[in-house]
Structure 1
């Protein structure tokens, strides 16, 4: 069952963020656009490349009113240790949420139960706390954070322009569609 269109379920967790431990709940994901990026584990191989790539897009995402949260089933203490010892992870300035209880990973349906780690899942959440996009990759396939920028712009456009939709490969300023009987069979 798809999570698209569903409200984020309640959770409370600790995160490592800019040298501090903070509490994060589902309420933090409301009132702004959010990206929640799950990854299997700290001190691994593909994960740091993805998290660094996400950091490289962070300022652009922030300029669009988006907060980014990374989540793994590690603890916030482990996130701090990884941040302190890895040059790549040391660059991260967005919150890194610990989910050792697996509550968040289960809420987003990305927990690999037999391994106790999360799939590579990316979720775009609107200011009402409603999941707008879901992307889940197999463990060995890293994600490209630059694609998030266009997806967020499209989601924001659709939210702000009821009755219009964004076609494939839509870029900001590009043509949109107004679904109607007149378009049926003409695209």
Structure 2
């Protein structure tokens, strides 16, 4: 997956379910702001609603950072609406839920499980230029944590706005960063 880091997202067009409406979404919508594209295997499953609900519970924090969340599965936008209408957890979602029934977007990001026609649990953080800064892929049975994702987004935003600085392991907003230099070699 490292080949996706620092690459521009590929063009796509799709329909999403968002706040009671079907909307068009394209790669252009991901540019001009920070975005998280959050792939998951399928609607009406088990781990997926826990992840999407966790993102919904923390959505306001992402919004404060100017970050839009886009969840994506190979289900249709109609299925997303049906799931939204029938699940208390999914009803909390205020971010766009993109339908990718052809798998085009899922393949663009390299997370298609071809034999199943489903997406891996892939998370992509994209900067305002449309360049992928973070890639994370989890096995199907391992759910993701929105607060850990939020920490990583903050680190990516910090590094982008502070050239010459990097965030060490477990960095949290407000903590010390590093300025790589010859003087630091062998001293950490």
Report the TM-score when normalising by structure 2.
0.98
What's the counterpart of residue 60 of structure 1? 61
C-alpha separation in 1, matches of 2:151 and 2:35: 14
1:166 is displaced (CA, Å) by 0.5
What's the counterpart of residue 21 of structure 1? 22
Instruction: Give the ranges of 4+ consecutive aligned residues of structure 1 lying more than 3 Å apart after TM superposition.
Output: none
Report the TM-score when normalising by structure 1.
0.99
What's the counterpart of residue 84 of structure 2? 83
**Unaligned runs of at least 5 residues, structure 2:** none
Q: Please give the root-mean-square deviation of Cα atoms over the aligned residues, in Å.
A: 0.7
What's the counterpart of residue 7 of structure 2? 6
Q: For this pair of structures, how many residues does the alignment match?
A: 187
Correspondence 1:116 to 2:120: no
**Unaligned runs of at least 5 residues, structure 1:** none
Given that 2:57 and 2:92 are in contact with CA atoms closer than 8 Å, whether structure 1 keeps it comes out as no
Superposed CA offset, 1:134-173 (max 9, x none): 1100001111111111111111110111000000011111
C-alpha separation in 1, matches of 2:46 and 2:66: 30
C-alpha separation in 1, matches of 2:157 and 2:45: 34
Superposed CA offset, 1:76-102 (max 9, x none): 000000000111111111000000010
What's the counterpart of residue 99 of structure 1? 100
